[in-house]
Structure 1
Amino acid sequence: MSKILIIDDEEELVELLKDELHARGHEVLTAYDGIAGINLAEKHPDLILLDVMLPASDGFTVCRTIREKVLCPILFMSARQSEADRVRGLTLGGDDYIVKPFTLRELMARIEANLRREQRAHYVNKEQKRTKLYFGILELNLIERTLTINNQNIILTRREYDIVEFLGMHSGQVFSREQIYEKIWGYDADGDSNTVVEHIKKIRSKLHTADSETEYLSTVWGIGYKWNKIRGKDAL
Structure 2
Amino acid sequence: MNIKASNVQKILIVDDEQDIRQILTILLTGEGYEVVCACNSEEAIKLVDETISLILLDVNMPGKSGFVACSEIRQRWQVPILFLTAYGQESDKAMGFCAGGDDYITKPFSNTELLLRVKALLRRCYVYQPMPIKDSLILSVGDLYLDEETQKVTVAGVEVILTSTEYNILHLLLTHRKKVFSMENIYKSIWEEDGAVVGDNAVMVHIKNLRKKIEKDTRHPRYIKTAWGKGYYID
Q: TM-score range by the shorter chain?
A: 0.7 to 0.9
TM-score, length of structure 1 as denominator length: 0.86
- Residue identity opposite 1:31 in structure 2: A
Structure 1 residue 78 displacement after superposition = 1.0
The aligned runs of 1:2-151 (5 Å cut-off) are 2-122=9-129, 124-125=130-131, 127-129=132-134, 130-151=136-157
Query: Which residue among 138, 149, 167 is the counterpart of 2:173?
Result: 167
Which residue in the other structure is 2:192 paired with?
A: 186
Structure 1 residue 169 displacement after superposition = 1.1
What whole-Å deviation, never above 9, does each CA across 1:34-54 have from its counterpart, x for those lacking one? 011112122441111010012
Structure 1 residue 70 displacement after superposition = 2.6
Which residue in the other structure is 1:200 paired with?
A: 207
Instruction: Provide the alpha-carbon RMSD of the alignment.
Output: 2.3
Name stretches of at least 5 consecutive residues in structure 1 with no aligned partner: 229-236
Equivalents in 1 of 2:110, 2:218: separation in Å?
Answer: 47
Structure 1 residue 191 displacement after superposition = 2.7
Equivalents in 2 of 1:119, 1:217: separation in Å?
Answer: 25
> Contact 2:71–2:100 (CA<8 Å) still a contact in 1?
yes
Q: In terms of mean alpha carbon deviation, does 72-81 or 6-15 score higher?
A: 72-81
1:159 match: secondary structure: helix
Q: Identity of aligned pairs, percent? A: 38
Note closer, same or farther for the CA distance 1:200–1:68 as it changes in structure 2 (3 Å cut). same
> Contact 1:95–1:185 (CA<8 Å) still a contact in 2?
no
The structure 1 segments of at least 4 consecutive aligned residues displaced by more than 3 Å after TM superposition are 210-214
Equivalents in 2 of 1:5, 1:188: separation in Å?
Answer: 27
Equivalents in 1 of 2:181, 2:220: separation in Å?
Answer: 24
- Residue identity opposite 2:142 in structure 1: G
What whole-Å deviation, never above 9, does each CA across 1:71-126 have from its counterpart, x for those lacking one? 3321111112222112221333222211111222221222122222223323x42x
Which residue in the other structure is 1:231 paired with?
A: none
Equivalents in 1 of 2:161, 2:123: separation in Å?
Answer: 25
Query: Which residue among 157, 175, 182 is the counterpart of 1:176?
Result: 182
